[in-house]
Chains A and B, each alone.
Chain A
Amino acid sequence: MNMNVKTEFKYVGTRPIRPDGPDKVTGRARYGADLNVQGMIYGHIVRSPHAHAKIKSIDFSAACKLPGVLATMSADDLPEPGDRKIPGGEVEMALKTFSPVVMARKKVLYHGQAVAAVAATSPELAAEAARLVKVEYEVLPHIMDMHAAARADAPLLHDDVYTQGVDPAPTTPSNIPTQIEISTGDISKGFAEADLVVERTYFVPMCHQGYIEPHACVVQTDENGKVDIWCSTQGAFMVRTLTAAVTGIDIGRFKVTASEIGGGFGGKTTVYLEPVAVVLSLKSGRPVKMVMSRDDVFRATGPAAAAETRVKIGVTRDGRITAIETDILMDCGAYTSHPIMAGVLFNSACYRCENVRSFGREVLTNKPRVYAYRAPGIPQPVVAVECVVNEIAERLNMDPIDFRLLNAVDEGDVMAIGIPFQAIGLKQVLQEAKAHPHYTAELKAGQGRGVAVAFWINAGMQSSATINVSEDGSVNILTGNPDIGGSRASMALMAAEVLGIPVETIRPSVVDTDSVGFCDVTGGSRTTLATGGAVIKAAETLVKELRKRAAAIWSLDIEEVDWTGGMAVAKSGTGLENMNREDAATRGDKTLTLADLAARAGATGGPLCAVASHNAHNAAPSFALNICDAQVDRETGKVDILRYTCVQDAGKAIHPAYVEGQMQGGAVQGIGWALNEEYIFNEQGRLDNPGFLDYRIPVASDLPMIDTVIVEVPNPLHPYGVRGVGEVPIAPPMPAVVTAVNRAAGTRLCHLPLSPPKLLAAIEAAEAGTA
């Protein structure tokens, strides 16, 4: 264990009520659509009725004749993206994969793609005007099937996409933007050494994050060129970067304020409406509000990729994995956001194996551009890997957790991509799961149990924090990360820990891009680690300043002043290490509380504040395991999830309730993806289920209580041992559920979701002996 990681805490690890809680449960909290400003008008987007077509012309004349229509826009109002890259991010992103998702240029590539927009004095009028915009299309054949799109003779979506990752670089364009392969050892030798080889192919459908709050924004511009944006987003600074890039307006003219956010899960780490509202506001001279319908959200935002994964795993008779080969084909929709990467790099990262080959290709189809969804790119191949691991354990007559313990990676092992693991918690997670009463609970006939584990890398990236002390000694923390999962509470806890003051005296705020230093998005499981790290750093800077002020008051050297229990204490001669406030006072030691120092701030050098920023390179991976019990109605194919347990290594759970919330939420989303959630496209290439009636996320009564066990193997690189918890929970549920259902039903269904008609057909095939 790294000696710099703190393990004894007073505030961290407790469960105070979240500071944003009362506002959220009483309805006071303001979300994206809740802001109204004087003179505001309403934008409405004209969307493509075709899955693939050339835009021949756009005629606004009829729309403009309606009284109250104040602005129109199309891609002609945005700069040509060309080959420009979007500045700022560590991973370079091509503007041409963002700009046409905001507003199509020359071509539409999926049904529902934005083609034009209007703004008018009421939402109804704007909708009416949008219907009057005349767009002339030349319809092109659409390709929905990724296998068909991957063929060399397939019609092309883009004439300028050449497969990256192929040597030599191809000279003809294709629908495959990316091909990637990693390998280590000798895969043929690995399979030759195996006593048992199992190979299967699993399909996972395109699915949506299903955040409850639709995208919404209000944009106000003024005659000085200032652009104010209020929106529901996972990152105000990201909105600033992307909106500036898409509109061609200088970053310095923007101020972005993130509203409260009703869920994102990665889906709100890009922009859709904001650049459109900016243009409409500039052209009309009025503030513009835009709100997506649920239909818009399903058709025209960024769902998770569909994927087909073939996996082949070899093992010795005694259960040692000798080779793992994976081949992934991933449906990215109309433009790539490179979801294949993590899937190829990390699909078998839980296992120690000398011979690994992992290969993947992205395919473009006439569907919405897929975008981030918790641990992007990982759940799809992990279904295949984990289901095959369960099958192998069964065939070897080994307990599936024992099999994984035998093959689990540990500190010092090197990942297939060449990075060695530091301290990690996979074995502890496996042991906790094995010891859990759920794992040995009896199953009845017709019931089945599945387990699965998963790895996620977690991100660091850039964050800033400011701490201001009020005259009464209360403390404000400012960060730029929208609070999705309880991050205000976590920031307050970490600051309380450093400052030694009650967490209730700390007011954490999420502020706009003019009011705090740059922060990357709330995403990548990074906020507690990286923004929390900035808060800790700022609090430590503040403590140093407080000691300096106290030292000046006492005419001591700063080294003679310590900070403990929320106050400065003169070291003069007493046994400081045993001191608490009462003792100090009893002994007559000199102390100054934070309130004392705040009251005298003016006289000792001015207001007390501290700022910190960093690029966090201390992220560390997380592992999670799920146990699922399922029961199947053999006459209808209906699945009941009977019992469910999540075990996860959090590193350190700063606020355990919100760690449990992440685990439970991931499990529920994964159960939905496994059983019923899927994008269903009709023959015209239109989404047939763009609403929560026929896009079936689980409802509360579909689920048992999701039990949680937090494991804490500290991240040796973080001062409090934090790893990040938000993404890995989505990876183990699908294989845990699929294994449980197949065991309960006596089937081997590999095509998700395991919806009742499909499962009933598989049961009947198994009973007829044709499976």
Chain B
Amino acid sequence: MQSVRYEAPTSLDQAARTLLGSENAKILAGGTDLLVQMRLGLKQPGLLVDIKNIPEIMQLTLGDDALRVGAAVTGALVGEHAEARRLFPGFVEALGLIGSSQIQGRCSAGGNLCNASPAADSVPALIANRALCNIIGPAGARSVAVESFNTGPGKNCLAAGELLVSIDLPLPAHRSSDAYLRFIPRTEMDIAVAGAAVALSLDEAGICTAARVAIGAVAPTALLVTAAADALIGSALDEASLHAAAAAASAACSPITDKRGTADYRRKVVGVLVRRAAAIAKSRIEAQA
């Protein structure tokens, strides 16, 4: 029988050294994906590197330019951060959709990203918010735009010995907000059949000056859909431009047919979600004082 070693480094340096020295290491954050995958026999690591004792990885800080979310900061902690909720309601609601209350006490945006499921809820919301991934590794530190972080189902851009430290969400401009919607057949405890995040900025006249649209569960990775954003920018977010954005999202995706839904169904629904999420983001801006 295979045995599993467990290490809990207390610094980034120590973590990097531990990772480099092991053939079959897996990083353990909340474990809400990894432990399930191990139990199902999908992953059989020889070493678990628990990163939750590393200060940088556990910090949630609001800076002058960005909200910095440590890679293993739990969904529950982000959800209790009033400024995070005010600035990025769509990201917070996306993160809050993962699992149950119990899972929320363990799961993290960093884990959700690194697990690289095409259906990850928080990833489209991170993309819509122009998030940057802070990575450390043998060659030093680097930052990657979140939409480039994942490269396929279960695959990300981390090289051997590299580690995601934190995610920066740049602070939004005046009169901006975001929203995330996913479709599941139930109301909770489920995985997205399709997901859509929209971040918007409006001028005082209500004209959209900036937009980012990202979709999930409809392609090998979450996608940034610039054509959908272009359909919104310059418009008053009227029905016609919302429908144009929806159509652009449907056109951009490349979904599969599986037990959770057909490709055709996902293509249609992702457009509906984009349109509805844009309308919610708009109403959030309008509700700002």
Chain A nearest CB, measured from B186 CB (Å): 5
Residue contact A689 to B262, C-beta cutoff 8 Å: no
The residues of A that contact B269 with a CB separation of less than 8 Å are 635-636, 756, 760
Residues 647-706 of A at the B interface (beta carbon under 8 Å): 675-676, 680, 688-689, 693-694, 696, 698-699, 701-702
CB contact list, A729-771 vs B, under 8 A: 755-757, 760-761
User: How far is A438 from B190 in the complex, measured between Cα atoms in Å?
Assistant: 31
Which residue from B187, B191, B265 sits with its C-beta under 8 Å from A760?
B265
B186 near A702: Cβ-Cβ < 8 Å:
yes
Task: Let me know if B272 and A635 touch, CB within 8 A.
Answer: yes
Q: Is the CB of B186 within 8 A of A696?
A: yes
Are the C-beta atoms of B191 and A693 separated by less than 8 Å? yes
The answer to whether A676 and B185 touch across the interface, beta carbons within 8 angstroms, is: yes
CB distance from B131 to the nearest CB of A (A): 27
Q: How many chain A residues touch B (Cβ–Cβ < 8 Å)? A: 24
Which of B187, B259, B260 interacts with A702 by CB under 8 Å? Answer: B187
Give min CB distance, B99 to chain A, whole Å: 11
Q: Tell me whether A756 and B261 are in contact in the complex, defined as CB-CB below 8 angstroms, given that A124-B1, A635-B272, A636-B269 are known contacts.
A: yes
Which A residues touch B187, using CB under 8 A? Answer: 699, 701-702
A701 to B187, CA, bound (A): 6
Q: Does A725 contact B (CB under 8 A)?
A: no
- Say yes or no for A125: interface residue by CB 8 A criterion: yes
Q: A635-B272, A638-B183, A756-B265 are in contact. Are A688 and B190 (CB under 8 A)?
A: no
How many inter-chain residue pairs (CB < 8 Å) link A and B?
50
The 8 Å CB contact of A699, one of B1, B189, B193, is B189
Q: Does B26 contact A (CB under 8 A)?
A: no
Q: A676-B186, A757-B265 are in contact. Are A125 and B1 (CB under 8 A)?
A: yes
Does A545 count as interface, using CB distance less than 8 angstroms? Answer: no
Residues of B within 8 A of A694 (CB): 259-260
Please, which residues of chain A bring their CB within 8 A of the CB of B272? 635-636
A638 touches B268 (CB 8 A): no
Query: Which residue in chain B gives the minimum CB-CB distance to A691?
Result: B40
A410: chain B residues at CB < 8 Å are: none
- From A128, A637, A675, B1 is in contact (CB under 8 Å) with A128
Say whether A755 contacts B185, CB under 8 Å. yes
Chain B hits for A693, CB < 8 A: 189-191
Point out the residue from B183, B186, B259, B260 that lies within 8 Å of A698, measured CB to CB.
B186
Determine chain B's interface SS by DSSP, over half rule: loop
> What is the CA–CA distance of A472 and B185 in the complex, to the nearest angstrom?
57
Query: When chains A and B are docked, how far (Å) is the Cα of A698 from the Cα of B189?
Result: 10
- Kindly state the separation between the CA atoms of A760 and B1 in the bound complex, as whole angstroms: 49
- Chain B nearest CB from A599 CB (Å) reads 53
CB distance from B274 to the nearest CB of A (A): 12
Task: Name the residue in A675, A676, A696, A757 with the highest tally of chain B Cβ atoms < 10 Å from its Cβ.
Answer: A757
B191's nearest neighbour on chain A, judged by CB, is A693
Contact with B along A516-531 (1 / 0, CB 8 A): 0000000000000000
**A607-653 CB contacts (< 8 Å) to partner B:** 635-638
A638 near B259 (CB under 8 angstroms)? no
User: Smallest CB–CB gap between A612 and chain B, Å?
Assistant: 46
Shortest distance from the beta carbon of B33 to any chain A beta carbon, whole Å: 13
In the complex, residue of chain B having the shortest beta-carbon distance to the beta carbon of A695: B259
A756–B192 alpha-carbon span in the complex (Å):
13
Q: Are A760 and B188 in contact, CB atoms less than 8 angstroms apart?
A: no
Q: Specify which chain B residues have a CB less than 8 angstroms from the CB of A689 in the assembled complex.
A: 259
A675 neighbours in B (Cβ, 8 Å): 185
Interface flags, A322-351, vs B, CB<8A=1, else 0: 000000000000000000000000000000
Q: Which residues of B contact A638 (CB under 8 A)?
A: 183, 185
A675 to B272, CA, bound (A): 21
B:215-271 near A, CB below 8 Å: 259-262, 265, 268-269
B188 touches A696 (CB 8 A): no
Residues of B within 8 A of A699 (CB): 186-189
Considering the chains assembled together, what is the distance between the CA atoms of A116 and B206 in angstroms? 69
B265 pairs with A688, CB closer than 8 A: no
Find the A residue at minimum CB distance from B266. A757
Least Cβ distance of B87 to chain A in Å? 27
Q: How far is B190's CA from A756's CA once the two chains are assembled, in angstroms?
A: 14
- Of the candidates A636, A680, A696, A702, the one whose C-beta lies within 8 Å of that of B183 is A636
Between-chain CB contacts (< 8 Å), 29 pairs: A124-B1, A635-B268, A635-B269, A636-B183, A636-B269, A636-B272, A637-B265, A638-B183, A676-B186, A680-B259, A688-B259, A689-B259, A693-B190, A693-B191, A694-B259, A696-B186, A699-B186, A699-B187, A699-B188, A699-B189, A701-B186, A701-B188, A702-B187, A756-B183, A756-B193, A757-B265, A760-B265, A760-B268, A760-B269
Sample of 19 further A-B pairs with CB below 8 A, known A635-B269, A698-B186, A757-B265: A125-B1, A128-B1, A635-B272, A636-B183, A636-B272, A638-B183, A638-B185, A676-B186, A693-B189, A693-B190, A693-B191, A694-B259, A696-B185, A702-B186, A756-B193, A756-B261, A757-B261, A760-B265, A760-B269
Q: Which residues of B contact A (CB under 8 A)?
A: 1, 183, 185-191, 193, 259-262, 265, 268-269, 272
**Cβ-closest 5 pairs across A and B:** A757-B265, A701-B187, A635-B272, A680-B259, A688-B259
